[in-house]
Amino acid sequence: MAYYPEPIAKLIESYAKLPGIGQKTATRLAFYTIGMQDDDVNGFAANLLSAKRDLHFCSVCGNLTDSDPCNICTDESRDRTTIFVVEESKDVLAMERIREYTGLYHVLHGTISPMNGVSPDDINVKSLITRLMDSTVTEIIIATNATSDGEATAMYLARMIKPAGIKVTRLARGLAVGSDIEYADEVTLSKAVENRQEI
Q: What is the per-residue pLDDT for 3? A: 80
Q: Which of 14, 32, 54 is the last residue of a domain?
A: 54
Question: Do both 96 and 174 map to the same domain?
Answer: yes
Question: Do both 43 and 110 map to the same domain?
Answer: no
Question: Do both 74 and 42 map to the same domain?
Answer: no
What interhelical angle do 6-16 and 23-34 show, nearest 10? 130
- SS3 labels along the chain: CCCCCHHHHHHHHHHHCCCCCCHHHHHHHHHHHHCCCHHHHHHHHHHHHHHHHHCEECCCCCCEECCCCCHHHHCCCCEEEEEEEECCHHHHHHHHHHCCCCEEEEECCCCCEHHHCECHHHCCCHHHHHHCCCCCCCEEEECCCCCHHHHHHHHHHHHHHHHHCCEEEECCCCCCCCCCHHHCCHHHHHHHHHCCEEC
Q: Report yes or no on 29 lying in a domain.
A: yes
Domain span holding position 31: 6-54
pLDDT, one tens digit per residue, over 135-188 is 799 999 999 988 889 989 999 999 999 888 899 998 876 667 677 888 887 867
Question: Do both 40 and 110 map to the same domain?
Answer: no
User: What is the band of 95 on the pLDDT scale with cuts at 50, 70, 90?
Assistant: very high
User: What is the band of 134 on the pLDDT scale with cuts at 50, 70, 90?
Assistant: confident
Q: Report yes or no on 35 lying in a domain.
A: yes
Q: Report yes or no on 1 lying in a domain.
A: no
Query: Count of domains in the chain?
Result: 2
The proportion of the chain whose per-residue pLDDT surpasses 90, expressed as a percent, equals 66
* Neighbour-count burial for 130-149, b at 16+ CB within 10 Å, e otherwise: ebbeeeebebbbbbbbbbeb
CA neighbor of 172 nearest in space, from 193, 151, 145, 147: 193
Q: Which of 54, 74, 93 is the last residue of a domain?
A: 54
Question: Do both 50 and 70 map to the same domain?
Answer: no
Q: What is the per-residue pLDDT for 46? A: 95
Q: What is the CA radius of gyration of the chain?
A: 20
The proportion of the chain whose per-residue pLDDT surpasses 70, expressed as a percent, equals 96
Question: Do both 168 and 141 map to the same domain?
Answer: yes
pLDDT, one tens digit per residue, over 61-80 is 999 999 999 999 999 999 99
Q: What is the per-residue pLDDT for 174? A: 64
Q: Report yes or no on 23 lying in a domain.
A: yes
Q: Please give the model's pTM, rounded to 2 decimal places.
A: 0.77
Question: Do both 20 and 111 map to the same domain?
Answer: no
Q: What is the per-residue pLDDT for 184? A: 80
CATH classification at residue 17 = 1.10.8.420
CATH classification at residue 176 = 3.40.1360.10
Q: Report yes or no on 59 lying in a domain.
A: no
Question: Do both 49 and 68 map to the same domain?
Answer: no
Average pLDDT, the chain: 90
